[in-house]
Amino acid sequence: MLPWFQDRFPLYLAPMAGVTDQIFRTLCKEQGADVMVTEFVSAEGIFRKNARTIEYLEFTPAERPLGVQLFGADPDHLGEAARRVRDWVGPDFLDLNFGCPVNKVVSRNGGSALLKDLPLLERVARSVVQAAAPCPVTAKIRIGWSRDAVNALETAKILEDAGIQALAVHGRTKDQAYGGEADWEVIGEVAQSVRIPVIGNGDIKTAHDAARRKCETPVAGLMIGRAAMSSPWIFHEIKSYFATGQLPPPPTLAAQWELVRRHCALAIEARGAERPAIHSLRARLMAYAHGMPGAKTLRSRFAVMESLTQLDEIIAASLAEV
């Protein structure tokens, strides 16, 4: 049993390409997220070992337990990539992506494409489990390719038999992309049908959602993605709610801004250049604006913001209005 499931009900930060970089993972860890997964990396990226890939693989000890997520469709390549990652950075686990619906990935048979080819998915899983040993391997799936091809139970059984040690299930089909709703009934059936821990994922937006899913399905943990983008403190709220049955007071606006500003300052420091760092943070700032008073005005100001000084002006104006 992976140690973070022993006597605990871990909260995972969902892997999100372009979002869950080292800075954001650290902020979420501070807020109580238990387990981190990197943005996905291709086997070919590992072989090339270019600057981008190295950046994806960087993490700090404080982020542990942490998994590196791999995607691809060639069992031998993925096995070799897993072995190299294990030896380079020593993650706590490797995670296989069998859920990505993006065309660029699916057209190369990666991500959710493997849900349509279970013999290949099995070969990928077995190859990586063998090559990565003794590093544990986990996987993340969607419930199937389409509504009429929901095969999560079969997929889960194959992965368990292949030696996968925990399974995150996003309750959508590939065809749904991010539309509609996650199907927690199927997630519950999967959790019931295998012995390995199943982590439920999809549409957890509040501590109440988390409590309901924990109570109604036999999952061993929960994974939170988009809600953390606008409210990283959701992990703290869920933990307090689980522990006391009460919601903690929401973070003050000043505390929210403190986190946003720190995110920006750390990104500028990491990039070594203010303007490009702020530009690449725009989408992230838009997400933070969600739920803040005057979100519309904030978004239009973020759209033209170029410096930390301007952010400070935006923060001062926002705090003066409440």
Ligand X SMILES: Cc1cc2nc3c(=O)[nH]c(=O)nc-3n(C[C@H](O)[C@H](O)[C@H](O)COP(=O)(O)O)c2cc1C
Q: Which one of residues 9, 10, 15, 207 is an interface residue with ligand X (CB under 6 A)?
A: 15
Check residue 213 for interaction with ligand X (CB under 6 A): no
Place of tokens 């997220």: 33
State the minimum distance, in angstroms, from the CB of residue 99 to ligand X.
5
* Numbers of helices and strands, H then E, in the chain: 16, 9
Our answer to whether residue 215 is catalytic in this structure is no
State the minimum distance, in angstroms, from the CB of residue 195 to ligand X.
23
State the minimum distance, in angstroms, from the CB of residue 95 to ligand X.
8
CA-to-CA distance for 95 and 40, rounded, in angstroms?
A: 9
CA-to-CA distance for 17 and 70, rounded, in angstroms?
A: 12
Place of tokens 């923060």: 315
Check residue 183 for interaction with ligand X (CB under 6 A): no
Q: From 116-124, 212-220, 222-230, 305-313, give the range in contact with ligand X by CB under 6 A.
A: 222-230
Check residue 25 for interaction with ligand X (CB under 6 A): no
Considering only residues 290 through 319, tell me which ones interact with ligand X, judged by CB under 6 A: none
Q: Which is nearer to ligand X, 119 or 179 (CB)?
A: 179
Check residue 31 for interaction with ligand X (CB under 6 A): no
Number of residues that bind ligand X (CB under 6 A): 22
Q: Mention every residue, 6+ apart, whose C-beta is less than 8 A from residue 13.
A: 20, 25, 28, 29, 33, 35, 36, 37, 223, 224, 225, 228, 235
Q: Which is nearer to ligand X, 123 or 142 (CB)?
A: 142
State the minimum distance, in angstroms, from the CB of residue 200 to ligand X.
10
Amino acid of residue 32: G
Query: Per residue, what are the HEC states of 123-163?
Result: HHHHHHHHHHCCCCEEEEEEEECCHHHECHHHHHHHHHHCC
Q: Which one of residues 204, 207, 305, 314 is an interface residue with ligand X (CB under 6 A)?
A: 204
Three-state secondary structure call for residue 252: coil
CA-to-CA distance for 69 and 98, rounded, in angstroms?
A: 10
Considering only residues 69 through 98, tell me which ones interact with ligand X, judged by CB under 6 A: 69, 97
* 3-state class percentages of the chain: helix first, strand second, coil last, to nearest 5: 55, 15, 35
- Please tell me which residue in 100, 135, 215, 264 is annotated as part of the active site: 100
Place of tokens 């090339």: 48
Q: From 12-20, 118-126, 145-153, 211-219, give the range in contact with ligand X by CB under 6 A.
A: 12-20
State the minimum distance, in angstroms, from the CB of residue 147 to ligand X.
17
Q: Which is nearer to ligand X, 66 or 314 (CB)?
A: 66
- DSSP string covering 183-216, please? -HHHHHHHHHH-SS-EEEES---SHHHHHHHHHH
Check residue 253 for interaction with ligand X (CB under 6 A): no
Q: Which one of residues 100, 156, 234, 285 is an interface residue with ligand X (CB under 6 A)?
A: 100
Q: From 158-166, 213-221, 224-232, 270-278, give the range in contact with ligand X by CB under 6 A.
A: 224-232
The contact set with ligand X (CB under 6 A) reads 14-19, 39-40, 69, 97, 99-100, 140, 170, 201-204, 224-227
Which residues are part of the catalytic machinery? 100
